[in-house]
Structure 1
Amino acid sequence: MVLVFGVNFAESRLVKSALESFYGVGPQISQRLMARLSIHNTAKLQGLGHRTVNDLSAELQNLTIENNLRRKLQDNIKRLRDMGTYRGRRHAMSLPVRGQRTRTQIATARKLNRVVRRG
């Protein structure tokens, strides 16, 4: 097991997929991190040295990911609701926010918009 940013990963796991498992780290950010640290795209965690793993964790610590990012998104939604903007009202009613069709296709939007929007 390899510990990266406080999470244990199997040694046989690809570095790219391990990075993308963090909330807020997608394909582009993971590729940039790997390029900055000179890690090959098909490298596995077992092939990394301790120093590289520590550098990777340090780089992840500089990013806004996981709980900090979730909190930031919730704060932004709360701010929109408090200001009474159109988008804030749409969030509060669990309706699509970005102009999607609501006449016939609302079920999915109502289901996806239920991200704890109380308050």
Structure 2
Amino acid sequence: MVSPHNPVHILGVNFHELKLVKKALESFYGLGPQLSQRIMAKYTIHPRARLGTVAPKTITALTAELSTMTIENDARRIVQDNIKRLRDMGTIRGRRHAMGLPVRGQRTRTQIQTARKLNQLERGGTHSKI
């Protein structure tokens, strides 16, 4: 018989109890592999542990830890502010963000279509349509 689904709540997000703790942490914007690994080491959680096996006390501690960090909307706003600052200063990087072009020296002679598509969604402002 299949056990009923018991969601695990972390920062108001419901995760399945069979989801890996590492992947659950990395699903938050602004938390990458290294930071999630560091948090798991702090609370002595095995790298391949699943959310259902972690004690509720530890889940509460994880939630408290994540609430003090700049993740999700705060991190997105910081990135947008940095891009806006670059555009206001008139730097090359700012202008390339505004045009929807690759910013960090990627090849543009042939392989630019993907970068234009991605930049249109993420960056605010005016973009040239293809």
Q: Where does structure 1 lack aligned partners over 5 or more consecutive residues?
A: none
Rounded Cα–Cα distance in structure 1 between residues aligned with 2:12 and 2:28: 11
**C-alpha displacement at 1:24, in angstroms?**
1.4
The size of the alignment, in residue pairs, is 119
Letter in 2 for 1:51: K
Query: Deviations 1:38-93 (Å, cap 9, x if unpaired)?
Result: 11112111122221011101111122111111111011000100111111011111
Letter in 1 for 2:63: S
Match of 1:41 in 2: 47
Q: Does the aligned pair in 1 maintain the 2:102–2:115 contact within 8 Å? A: yes
Root-mean-square deviation (CA, aligned residues, Å) is 1.3
Rounded Cα–Cα distance in structure 2 between residues aligned with 1:41 and 1:87: 38
Rounded Cα–Cα distance in structure 1 between residues aligned with 2:105 and 2:23: 33
Q: Is residue 100 of structure 2 the alignment partner of residue 117 of structure 1?
A: no
Rounded Cα–Cα distance in structure 1 between residues aligned with 2:12 and 2:115: 34
Normalized against structure 2, the TM-score is what? 0.85
Rounded Cα–Cα distance in structure 2 between residues aligned with 1:51 and 1:61: 16
Match of 2:4 in 1: none
Match of 2:104 in 1: 98
Normalized against structure 1, the TM-score is what? 0.93
Letter in 2 for 1:101: R
Rounded Cα–Cα distance in structure 2 between residues aligned with 1:14 and 1:94: 35
> SS of the residue aligned with 1:41?
coil
Q: Does the aligned pair in 1 maintain the 2:22–2:37 contact within 8 Å? A: yes
